[in-house]
């Protein structure tokens, strides 16, 4: 191992110890640092559907797979994942064991914070690349890992969190902007860029997923032509606005049936389906089983 490899391994080990100390059991664990949470799993997981919010996912032990549409993203302790917009994905932990559990540092990314930094960074005057996929994997570097470790260590000194955590988060954002992920992140932060307009369209869909989709209306809302919106939306999300809305609807229906114990017909109607049979067909296609059987399986698990 080179000196840099040894330094990275040491920092990764220290961060793994911190995550273990502040979790201790499987699941997603919020921390007292705003926007920071830890994930821990002692065994590989089954595929789980959800909406990936803008975030940095830095694995320090184990490995995970994320699927966006038909695209597969593999990442582990040597590669981190960044999402720049809300994306419906299917994720599963692929490498984990009781002796060496999957451990992940997850930091929510604020487009507002990114925008304020872009105006001051050297990249502000650089031309924007075309909108690209809002999910990307990059090789981990010691500077980013060091900043993540310093942020996590603030949990040991809670009195320092209010003053120091915003500074370290700002450093992390700066390092991401300077990385290969920079163009993707600048798009969501630069007002009137195509990527920023797509992000606004995604926000509209998330707030209005239960309403009938009228692409012309959304295009007007974000000041794009319908054809441009469709093209750039697919470039960022790997799916059309209609496909995106469908995934949001089905995931919310699943949550309603699990947490509010409503029946399939009621859940389908509440998320915008007029036809129970269409809801059941599309639900089965996405989750691999009809609503009732899928929910029973999840409750049993």
Q: What is the pLDDT of residue 122?
A: 55
Q: What is the pLDDT along the chain (301 residues), one digit of tens a residue?
A: 677 778 888 899 999 999 999 998 999 999 999 999 999 999 999 888 889 999 999 999 999 999 998 899 999 999 999 999 999 999 999 999 999 999 999 999 998 888 888 877 655 556 677 778 999 999 998 999 999 999 999 999 999 999 999 999 999 999 999 888 888 888 877 767 888 899 999 999 999 999 999 999 999 999 999 999 999 999 999 999 999 999 999 999 999 998 888 899 999 999 999 999 999 999 999 988 999 999 888 887 6
Residue ranges of alpha helices (H) inside the chain are 3-22, 111-118, 142-153, 161-177, 182-189, 194-207, 215-221, 226-237, 241-259, 264-270, 276-287, 291-300
C-alpha to C-alpha distance for 254 and 261, rounded to whole angstroms: 10
C-alpha to C-alpha distance for 184 and 87, rounded to whole angstroms: 14
pTM: 0.89
Instruction: Give the 3-state secondary structure of residue 221.
Output: helix
Domains for the chain: give ranges and CATH numbers: 3-110+134-188 (2.60.120.10), 191-301 (1.10.10.60)
C-alpha to C-alpha distance for 118 and 282, rounded to whole angstroms: 41
**154 CB contacts (<8 Å, ≥6 apart)?**
33, 160, 161, 164, 165, 168
* Helix, strand counts (H, E) of the chain: 12, 10
Q: What is the pLDDT of residue 123?
A: 53
Q: What is the pLDDT of residue 206?
A: 92
Residue with tokens 């699941």: 27
C-alpha to C-alpha distance for 87 and 71, rounded to whole angstroms: 13
C-alpha to C-alpha distance for 1 and 169, rounded to whole angstroms: 30
Residue 42 near residue 26, CB atoms below 8 Å: yes
161 is written with which tokens?
């969190």
Residue with tokens 């007292």: 32
Q: What is the pLDDT of residue 60?
A: 96
Q: What is the pLDDT of residue 9?
A: 86
- Phi/psi at 265 (5° precision): -60, -45
């Amino acid at each position: 191992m080179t000196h840099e490899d040894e330094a990275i391994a040491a920092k990764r080990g220290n961060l793994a110890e911190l995550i273990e100390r502040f979790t201790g059991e499987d699941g997603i664990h919020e921390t007292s640092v705003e926007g920071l949470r830890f994930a821990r799993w002692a065994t590989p997981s089954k595929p789980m559907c959800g909406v990936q919010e803008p975030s940095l996912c830095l694995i320090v032990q184990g490995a995970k797979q994320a699927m966006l549409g038909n695209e597969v993203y593999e990442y582990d302790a040597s590669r981190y994942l960044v999402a720049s917009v809300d994306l419906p994905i299917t994720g599963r932990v692929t490498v984990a064991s009781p002796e060496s559990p999957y451990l992940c540092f997850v930091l929510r990314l604020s487009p507002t914070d990114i925008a304020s930094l872009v105006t001051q960074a050297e990249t502000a005057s650089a031309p924007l690349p075309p909108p690209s996929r809002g999910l990307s994997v990059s090789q981990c570097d010691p500077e980013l890992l060091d900043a993540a470790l310093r942020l996590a260590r603030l949990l040991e000194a809670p009195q320092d969190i209010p003053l120091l955590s915003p500074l370290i988060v700002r450093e992390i954002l700066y390092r991401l902007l300077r990385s290969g992920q920079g163009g993707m992140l600048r798009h969501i932060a630069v007002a009137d860029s195509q990527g920023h307009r797509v992000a606004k369209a995604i926000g509209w869909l998330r707030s209005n997923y239960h309403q009938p989709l009228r692409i012309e209306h959304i295009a007007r809302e974000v000041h794009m032509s319908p054809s441009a919106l469709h093209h750039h939306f697919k470039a960022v999300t790997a799916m059309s606005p209609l496909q995106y809305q469908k995934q949001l609807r089905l995931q919310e229906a699943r949550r309603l049936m699990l947490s509010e114990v409503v029946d399939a017909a009621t859940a389908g109607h509440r998320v915008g389906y007029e036809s129970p049979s269409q809801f059941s067909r599309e639900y089965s296609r996405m989750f691999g089983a009809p609503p009732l059987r899928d929910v029973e399986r999840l409750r049993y698990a």
